[in-house]
């Protein structure tokens, strides 16, 4: 049985892995993550691999699997990161309401065998999210919950933003922060 390490401090990723009964540890690097890519799907691949590689430097590598992940929301050619203020969160939600946007999660899985040899899986999973039109009052009522803080795109699909989700095309868990079926199937193979 390999030791599994989640290289993420995200409580949502932790909950998703616990939900499927996976036994794992959490270890996070505090090193700065600087990326060079400019396309959303490449940015998340690069960042997830950085996270996994940084954590790999901190552990015994034999019979170990390290999972790194990074999620971003993209709309209209812009990356909608975690809002720095309520005003920025309002602008983000205003820009996606009534429209479709994409959520990308990059996943990096470093699989070390009993000799410490590494196999790397690094990919991005895309989900299209369609949001119903929202009034300014609805946006402000949502922002009043404070749920938008520390969330890419300023919303949590699994929380109080759920009534505004018209539909998704792709993996729901990807939008929450970890495409768990992709991760499980990749580890299994």
70, 113, 144, 171: the active-site residue:
70
Ranges of H-type helices in the chain: 11-19, 40-56, 86-96, 136-144, 172-176, 180-188
Of 177, 73, 48, 27, the C-alpha closest to 123 is 48
CA–CA distance, 141 with 144 (Å, rounded to integer) = 5
Segments of 57-146 assigned E as strands: 64-75, 78-80, 100-112, 118-131
Helix (H, G, I), strand (E, B) or coil at 63: coil
Taking alpha carbons only, the member of 50, 137, 58, 124 closest to residue 93 is: 137
Closest CA to 164 of 175, 177, 149: 175
Per the annotation, the verdict on 70 as an active-site residue is: yes
Could you tell me if 119 and 133 are in contact, meaning their C-beta atoms sit under 8 angstroms apart? no
Give the catalytic positions in this structure. 70
């Amino acid at each position: 049985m390999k030791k599994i390490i989640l290289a993420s401090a995200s409580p949502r990723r932790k909950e998703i892995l616990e939900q499927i009964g996976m036994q794992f540890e959490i270890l996070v690097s505090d090193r700065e993550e600087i990326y060079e890519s400019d396309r959303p799907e490449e940015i998340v691949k690069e960042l997830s691999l950085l996270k996994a590689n940084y954590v790999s430097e901190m552990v015994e590598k034999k019979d170990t699997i390290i999972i790194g992940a990074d999620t971003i929301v993209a709309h209209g050619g812009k990356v909608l990161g975690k809002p720095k203020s309520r005003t920025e969160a309002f602008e983000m939600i205003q820009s996606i309401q009534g429209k479709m946007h994409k959520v990308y999660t990059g996943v990096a899985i470093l699989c070390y065998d009993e000799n410490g040899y590494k196999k790397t899986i690094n990919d991005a999973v895309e989900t299209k999210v369609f949001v119903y039109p929202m009034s300014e009052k609805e946006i402000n009522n949502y922002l009043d919950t404070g749920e938008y803080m520390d969330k890419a795109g300023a919303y949590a699909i699994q929380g109080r933003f759920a009534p505004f989700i018209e539909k998704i095309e792709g993996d729901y868990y990807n939008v929450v922060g970890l495409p768990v079926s992709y991760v499980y199937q990749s580890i299994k193979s």
